[in-house]
Chains A and B, each alone.
Chain A
């Protein structure tokens, strides 16, 4: 981070969470209407490396934590039907909290830093992943389960050998949506002082100079698309039976 981050009252979010970069002299100033300044980009591309790595780590860890929790909750609700409505409502409430508010609300409790950001980001993934795992499991044909039980699989074997493999498309589908949206929301992790590409977006200088925003945003977008492509490939390989057509 180029300089310290100002921390202001929550009411002044618009101005408050903005990096100082007054000492810099910006190129391209002759034409302030320029949306993108190539000279500046070439000179400053280095400063995006660390934030991009932080962003990647935030997303990877948050989705992994969110998946572990949501998956466990979904399996729990799979056996105990009565848990479904409260779990859906609970994860829904978490999902509905505005992101910046979430970060700010957590600060007094968990303090500044990466943990706070990971807690909030994971919480956002719960609803999507939980719901997709649940939908995937309930879409498994009853006849396959009946046959599995009738041939002597235990409940656990049915879950791991029949239900979960057949729910893979929905589960990975949920992971894809969760990952892509987490890449976007993770740019707000800067408000929890957790770094990430947000540091290159929410700076005072950027109010008049959008080049940095465009680069950071572009990196975030590429990151989201890459995550999505990787997960899609995983899904393809994990579900070969879905690629066949009736002959």
Chain B
């Protein structure tokens, strides 16, 4: 239907803010609203996660943005412009759409699937092809797969294509409805990380629906916790929601382990590490013992490092009985962390390694400090952790 195709080629790229203004959805003449006077402001370029138990109206709330669900009252503005004033089909071509069931077209190749919206917009063939190739590369797919059909790809690859297809025409807003919900846990985590990395590059305004609070914490710049009846119980940053739940509902939904969940928001670099006395191969042990004896020592074991200050292992009491520091330490190094590791993973490494201390290395592999279980528990218990955000909204963007 060429007559229905829009031929203008949008040049404005980037992202638009999304504002819900009392958006309400009632089905039929039911007095109970599925979404009740929702008012939210999602700044341009941020990921807003709508999270809540099933039946809370989060998907309905999301779908009102591209009018696949028509709202009953209120309005939604994209970049200050009401979605109500737009032709629905044209509006949707400017909004990326990713769903849990992926919904790739089985009869079209991967490249044709990605080119779907550019084709609707009437892009020229060369432009569409260039954009398709660019997206296939962006999602890390083998270019050869562009000619394959969806049935020939794995679930994870298919969902990557689903994301690429949604990004094809450089939309101002992305709607993602449980996009990784049907993927196995290992691939889900990989896809989440990939999307965050992608988002750091493209900076879209994203509405992300999930029922999984962990996913919400990981993905969201902001989280809207929704409760039954389509009401927002709390709209805040992940850190605020974890540290200061608005009410009992949010507290219950976030779970009793919210203190631990907070660790997912931090990196090792965000915390003050301890300093271990360093020992070099061939150094007289007397010097090491002197360091150990100093009053401001935080770790009671000397850490053996090479000439580049890369950690090798821990020295024991017996090692120190020799005259010089041996090249092979008595105790193995145990877990070696990176400054960019997420705190929750770091704690897991410590516990798994049954270690009290773990050396932390910088990007060059040089010793940056020592993390201990004690530091983490002190952090979790400190009043500072409850009031200050500790750079927690700076999500690991890898």
Contact = CB atoms under 8 A, between A and B. Distances in A.
A33 interface: no
Nearest to B92: A152
Interface in B67-124: 68, 89-94, 97, 99, 101-108, 116-117, 120
A235 to B, nearest CB: 13
Nearest to B88: A152
Contacts of B190: none
Contact of A153 (B89, B151, B162): B89
B92 A151 contact: yes
Interface string A206-247: 000000000000000000000000000000000111001111
A141 B101 CA distance: 10
Contact of B106 (A141, A154, A157): A141
Contact of A151 (B107, B108, B116, B152): B116
Interface stretch (A12-20, A61-69, A84-92, A142-150): A142-150
Interface string A132-171: 0000000001111111111111101100101001100000
Chain A's interface size range is 20 to 34
Contacts of A239: 107
Interface string A151-193: 1111011001010011000000000000000000000000000
- Residue from B89, B105, B108, B151 whose CB has the most chain A CB atoms within 10 Å: B105
Contacts of B106: 141, 144, 166, 241
Contacts of B92: 149-152
B321 interface: no
Contact of A246 (B104, B117, B152, B166): B152
Contact of B175 (A150, A240, A244): A150
Contacts of B91: 152
A241 B151 contact: yes
B131 interface: no
Given A165-B107, A244-B148, A244-B152, A154 B1 contact: yes
A146 B99 contact: yes
B99 A241 contact: no
Given A151-B120, A154-B89, A244-B149, A146 B103 contact: yes
B184 interface: no
B1 A156 contact: yes
A147 B90 contact: no
B66 interface: yes
Interface of A: 141-154, 156-157, 160, 162, 165-166, 239-241, 244-247
- What 10 pairs across the A-B complex have the smallest Cβ distances? A147-B103, A143-B101, A152-B93, A152-B92, A150-B97, A143-B103, A241-B149, A152-B89, A165-B107, A241-B107
Given A153-B120, A166-B107, A240-B149, 11 more contacts: A145-B103, A146-B103, A147-B99, A148-B103, A151-B166, A157-B4, A160-B1, A241-B149, A244-B152, A246-B152, A247-B148
